[in-house]
Structure 1
Amino acid sequence: MKTKLSMVVLAAIGMVSLGNAVELKTTGEAVLYYQTVDTGANSDLFQKADSAANIGLRVNVAGDLGNDFGVGLEGVALGTLGLEKNLVSATMQTAGNSGNLNDTAISQAYITKKIDNTTLKLGRQVLPASVSPLAFSEDWNVFANTYDAAVAINSDLPDTTLVGAWVSGNGDKARSNLVGGAVQGGAYMVTAVNKSVKELPITASYYALKDINGADSGDAIWASTKVDAGLPVSLALQGGQISPSNNLKDTNAFGAEIGAKVDMFDLGLAYSSVNNGALGVVNTGGVKTPLFTQMVANEGAIANDADTVVLKASTAVGAGTLSAGYGMTSAGTTSATVNDSQELDLVYSFKALGTDMLLAYVNASSDVSGAEDDNIVRFVSRYNF
């Protein structure tokens, strides 16, 4: 059914383009993604059984259809180029539910319509965390997950942008899987971004959640701001609450982050605190959190019943930027980990051979007696066109 629908959309775009001389813009990227993990015991870095890889191609076609209508279509192809025969045993992402390592999927297919100061966007699309902090597209994997959504953006009010949406299925690890996170039935969302005070822009979101794990429904609020007063030190704040039905305990979260530039270094200190509510503070359509303390792999430790501090630093090195982060999480007795944990991230982002490359090393440890550290090495190369 998905293939048939995709062919119909492609044919429709082609006919509109030919019949009305519509100019369509094509963009995309080619990606090589490799990750290996050492979790101790019989695990080891660069061992086939502990490594995963993908070769991916993403092509996006978008254009103006006239009369304030627009259209967009994006397809992805994900495969391994046979790497599973010698170097890896798994993939980071799959395209579809066929079980094949090499497959394709339609990751975006939407129509837009502008009416005065309101823009409507209907279909499968990317949702940015800046306006949808609890249901957003995550870009850490080969390709970002997308959502079936109906979105309305209005700018009638002075210095204010209003966003209303119905958010439904998403695709993450398996791109055609239309459920994810803790919410199975979708969500209504309203977000307001106000910049009346230039130095103190505020973003606030409300979600009405359907079919939460363990509950019939629920509500969530989330707000954030970043003080931009021209001071040497920047300050950002965030906080929210997730309230499931069925008399389940509310989840409350707070976060703060300060940053400063000292000589050649950009420095940061982030803090988050989440109580032991029934649900974790996690992207309802993915795996990451919106918390300032989110690192490469610590989402399981920080999302519920945990206090976390993260130190950050970055500086230009050679053709790129070297970033380092060290996080410490103190877990409560009901947290998913039930143990204090630490994570060290070293990430080097650079340009080489006409591509954007990323090389990352992660060391994660905990205070579990006898437990060995987890080590992750990740390499990503992206060619954008």
Structure 2
Amino acid sequence: EITMKKTLLLSVVASTMIMAGGDIAPVEPVVEAAAPVATSTSGWNFNGQGVVYYQTADNWGNGSVFDQGPADENNGWATAAAGIQLGAVNKNLLGPIGAGVELSGISSIGLENDVVSGLVQSGTGDLTGAAITQAYLTVGLGNTSLKIGRQQLPKALSPFAFSESWNVFKNTFEAGLLVNSDIPSTTLVYAYVTRSNHSIKPLSDFSKINENGDVVHMITAQNKSIDGLTLTGSWYLAPDMISNGNDVNVLWGDAKFAMGDYSFGLQGGQISPDTLDDTTAFGAKMAATFGMFDASLAYSTVDDGTIDVVNFGTGVKSPLYTQAILNQNTLRRDADTFKIALGAKALGGKFTGVYINSDLGDTAHASVFGNQDGAGTYQEIELIYKTKIGQNATLLAAYINQNDDRQADDSQNFFRVWGRYNF
């Protein structure tokens, strides 16, 4: 049965990788920082963003939201940070050779004295610190580009080693990225990934993504030959990732189709250690837009294999369609998860309501901020408002209720708010 599953998965990914034709422009190899160019001097483009970020929880009802913390049997908790990020890119520094650099600084701005009990993200592990989060060289020759150094990796092309956007600043990787678009409508990618600074550790703290084998190799093919259809297939090899010489292979496929106001998606794959149990996962989604309203339904299932379906670079978020704000621990192993979302554009922004339900097996993980694993039911309700203020500012406010019937106190209230200004 396992051999048949692997053969079927190989055929799906292989068919994705050989499709070609059409004249749709290839996908850009790298997702740059989402900030407008502020200044250009002698080929250098400069950009930046400023961020303020705050979140708080009532510690499963033991305290109150907006408690300073730290959390205990009588208190909730809160964390915050303020950050500034500056970037510079020159695509033609010396002929076809380009370069980029990014500096990210984060501070508690004194809030730890009266308002919060810690930082949501830090630069160096101190209350105020900075780190070089990107520093790379690029070479472009025809339809082939090479990028080497500290950089972001996009989830669209690297579903198991990607830069997450949920925190103050995105995590980055030390990697080599080779991209070719010679085949019409097709992007071919090879990545050699060594280290990551994760998304919840200090930005300066880069460590091996594969502790035992030093590196993770990735090959991805993405094709857009058919109008509205995007096919993506990825293969990862992590040598000696698990002790006792177990190499880990990952096969992952994704198909998305958009037609007018409707879109559909299928994803699935297998994570295969040499001598341990495989992990098999599948996901599906559908979405529709009706004027100012939109709705979506997603489903994922993950069995109880050895390795979780999670970003290898952070151990936090998952590539699954059912990923939301706080449900990453409960969907990535031994879980069947449904996600329903309804959205409406109003008051200059967008309101979104989300309901998530996960049926958890015996080997499922404890929920985020929880401490009880195993079988049970996890539910999450999210109410989100997001808006742009002017051309450069974005504001998000979110309320999340977590309900985990495995916890002694099964319900927790959580708030998150942040603002970003791009310059």
Q: Shared topology, TM-score over 0.5?
A: yes
Partner of 1:131: 157
Aligned pairs for 1:295-374 within 5 A = 295-336=324-365, 337-338=373-374, 339-352=376-389, 355-368=393-406, 370-374=408-412
| Residue identity matched to 2:122 | T
Alignment partner of 2:118: what SS?
Answer: coil
- What runs of 5+ residues in structure 2 fail to find an aligned partner? 1-40, 70-76, 366-372
Kept in 2: contact 1:155–1:161 (CA 8 A): yes
2: CA distance, partners of 1:180 / 1:322: 39
Name the aligned partner's letter for residue 386 of structure 2.
S
- Measured after TM superposition, the shift of residue 142 of structure 1 is 0.2
Decide whether aligned partners of structure 1 residues 183 and 228 sit closer, same or farther in structure 2, where only a CA change above 3 A counts: farther
Partner of 2:228: 199
Q: What residue in structure 1 maps to residue 140 of structure 2?
A: 114
Structure 1: which amino acid aligns with 2:190?
G
TM-score by length of 1: 0.90
Distance 1:378 1:324 in 2: 15
Instruction: Tell me which residue corresponds to 2:127.
Output: 101
Confirm or deny that 1:75 pairs with 2:96.
Answer: no
Separation of aligned partners in 1, 2:297 and 2:145: 37
Q: Specify the SS of the correspondent of 2:363.
A: coil
Deviations 1:45-101 (A, max 9, x none): 1111110010100000011214111110000111111000110011011112xx421
Shift of 1:241: 0.8
Q: Which moved more, 1:163-172 or 1:128-137?
A: 163-172
Query: How does 1:174-323 map onto structure 2 within 5 Å?
Result: 174-179=202-207, 185-214=214-243, 216-230=246-260, 232-245=261-274, 247-286=275-314, 287-323=316-352
Q: 2:83 aligns to what SS in structure 1?
A: strand
Question: What SS does structure 1 have at the residue aligned with 2:359?
Answer: strand
1:213–1:320 distance in 2 versus 1, CA, 3 Å? farther
Residue by residue, what CA displacement relative to the aligned partner does 1:291-321 show, whole Å, maximum 9, x if unpaired? 0000100010000010000001111111111
Question: Counterpart of 1:220 in structure 2: which amino acid?
Answer: V
Deviation, 1:372, is 2.9
Among 60, 63, 70, which residue is 1:43 paired with? 63
Q: Distance in 1 between matches of 2:66 and 2:262?
A: 41
Pairwise CA distance, 1:176 = 2.2
One-letter amino acid of the counterpart of residue 85, structure 2: R
Q: In structure 2, do the counterparts of structure 1 residues 201 and 183 end up closer, same or farther at CA, with 3 Å as the change threshold?
A: farther
**Residue number in structure 2 paired with 1:8:** none
How many Å separate the matches in 2 of 1:314 and 1:213?
A: 42
- Residue 41 of structure 1, CA deviation: 5.2
Contact 2:48–2:87 (CA under 8 A) maintained in structure 1 = yes
Gaps of at least 5 residues in structure 1 are 1-20
- Name 2:168's counterpart in structure 1: 142
Deviation at 1:180, TM superposition (A): 7.0
Cα gap change, 1:304/1:44 in structure 2, threshold over 3 Å: closer, same or farther?
same
322-331 or 361-370: bigger deviation: 361-370
Q: Counterparts of 2:171 and 2:238 in 1: how far apart (Å)?
A: 19
How high is the sequence identity, in percent, across the aligned residues? Answer: 38
**SS of 1:156's equivalent?**
coil
Residue 261 of structure 1 and its aligned partner are, at CA, apart by 1.8
More displaced 10-residue stretch of structure 1: 105-114 or 185-194: 185-194
Q: Distance in 2 between matches of 1:130 and 1:37?
A: 32
Q: Which whole-Å CA distance do the structure 2 matches of 1:196 and 1:302 have between them?
A: 32
SS in 1 for 2:207: coil
Q: Residue 265 of structure 1: CA displacement?
A: 1.1
Q: Secondary structure at the match of 2:304?
A: coil
Q: Which whole-Å CA distance do the structure 1 matches of 2:396 and 2:418 have between them?
A: 5
Q: 1:368/1:357 Cα in 2 relative to 1: closer, same or farther (>3 Å)?
A: same
State yes or no: 1:378 paired with 2:416: yes
* Change over 3 Å in CA distance of 1:332–1:313 after alignment to 2: same
SS of the residue aligned with 1:111?
A: strand
Letter in 1 for 2:171: N
Q: Which residue of 2 aligns with 1:169?
A: 195
Q: 1:268 to 1:41 in 2, by over 3 A?
A: closer
Conservation of the 8 A alpha-carbon contact between 2:57 and 2:78: yes
1:177-197 residue CA offsets vs partner (Å, 9 max, x unmatched): 223778663300000011222
Per the alignment, residue 180 of structure 2 pairs with 154
Alignment partner of 1:29 out of 49, 55, 80: 49
Q: 1:210 to 1:374 in 2, by over 3 A?
A: farther
The answer for the alignment partner of 2:20 in structure 1 is: none
Partners of 1:110 and 1:125 within 8 A in 2: yes
Bigger drift between 213-222 and 31-40 goes to 213-222
SS of 1:26's equivalent?
A: strand
Would you say 1:52 and 2:89 are equivalent positions?
no
Count of matched residue positions in the alignment of Structure 1 and Structure 2:
361
- Distance of aligned partners of 1:46 and 1:213 in 2 relative to their CA distance in 1, 3 Å threshold: farther
Secondary structure of the 2:138 match is strand
CA distance in 2, matches of 1:218, 1:381: 39
Distance in 2 between the 1:346 and 1:294 partners?
15
